A = this chain, B = another copy of it.
Amino acid sequence: MRITAARPLADGVLEHELTLDGIPGVLWTAGPDAPPAPLILLGHPGGLPAMYPRLAARARHAVAAGFAAATLELPGCGDRPRSAAADAARADLRRAVTAGGPVDDEIVDRLVLPLVEQAVPEQRALLDALLARPGIGGPVGVAGGVISLGIRLAVVEPRIAAALLFAGSYVPRAVVEEARRVRVPLLVLLQWDDEGNDRQRALEVFDALGSPEKTLHANTGGHTGVPAFEGDDGNRFFARHLLAGSA
């Protein structure tokens, strides 16, 4: 991993552009004198250039609450080489959702499973690189993004101690089964009126998740309408599980 640029934002937050084996990403931390902070991996749907403003806002909020935050571009998204197979699956999904019918499991599998397979080792390599830096400590939280990726990471990556999952994208049947093996504390966000999502399937995923401590926060509104107060709720969730001695 190389840090290719660093600049101060408001509130004493430092933003670092990074590249990991050619994959672009961003790291946000408090100033150099701050004590080591637990790391939150910020998820997104793919496409860092377009997602940057929202991610930076979430990151500043997380740093203000005592965390470091980082994100990495997803395979086939943003400035990374596109995948013809993923683009075709995405187009098929969009057609199925627009037609209002049920979405074939086969389309969801084609879209999500290769993305998860490829992204998980990349995200774990990012953890290796970031946790070696001074100023970033464990444990690690995962927040948002493609829920199937968050589920897989929570199952396979023991450094992850808590996960905030956004139930806003289709989940392959195989990942619903995998969800039963998750054990870390969970906060699951669901937008109740998200027309591009399957609410019943999202509730099935919440039900399947095997964590003894899991909470669902469902709010009125569409995919991008998560209320601002959920940002505070998310910080408090991570504070309970990642910050020693927090309430």
Contact = CB atoms under 8 A, between A and B. Distances in A.
A220 B229 contact: no
Given A229-B240, A240-B229, A213 B207 contact: no
A214 B203 contact: no
Contacts of A216: 192, 216-219
Contacts of A214: 192, 219-220
* Chain A facing B: main interface SS: mixed
A118 interface: no
Interface string A209-237: 00111111111100000010100110010
Contacts of A207: 192
A204 to B, nearest CB: 12
A218 B192 CA distance: 13
A219 B185 CA distance: 11
A134 B233 CA distance: 34
A236 B227 CA distance: 14
Contacts of A211: 220
A206 interface: yes
Most buried by B among A211, A217, A218, A219: A218
Interface string A178-219: 000000000000001000000000010011000111111111
A214 B193 CA distance: 12
Interface of A: 192, 203, 206-207, 211-220, 227, 229, 232-233, 236, 240
Given A215-B217, A215-B220, 10 more contacts: A192-B216, A211-B220, A213-B220, A213-B227, A215-B219, A215-B227, A216-B219, A218-B218, A232-B236, A233-B233
